[in-house]
Amino acid sequence: MSRVKSPFASPVVTVGSIHGGSSHNIIQDDVRLELTIRAYDKKVREKIFQTIKHIAKGVAQMVGVPDDREPIVNFRIGLPAT
């Protein structure tokens, strides 16, 4: 977060859950990572969304994930912070 936001913006990104199967010795075809993103400023929240997409795609390219298996990043927008 410190690389993409002002120190005064105070956004929070929390890993809520990771779902990737139930076998200890099998690498799953897909994994679901659920995050909670909080920010008072809409522009800061949008920057976080863009950064998460950018990092997910960059890591996939770095480890050789084929284009047809790139990460799918979806956001469900909730209520703004109060």
- β-strand partners of 35: 15
All structural domains of the chain with their residue ranges: 12-69
Give the CA-trace dihedral at 46, 1, 9, 14, to 10 degrees: 80
Q: How far is CA 14 from CA 21, 26, 42, 64, in A?
A: 21, 26, 17, 27
User: Average pLDDT in the 66-79 region?
Assistant: 88
To the question of pTM greater than 0.85 for the whole model, the response is no
On average, the pLDDT of the chain sits at: 85
* pLDDT tens profile 21-44: 888 888 788 889 898 888 888 888
CA-closest candidate to residue 57, choices 45, 46, 65, 47: 65
32 CB-contact burial (10 Å; exposed 0-12 / middle 13-18 / buried 19+): exposed
pLDDT(9) > 80 = no
* pLDDT tens profile 51-66: 999 999 999 999 999 9
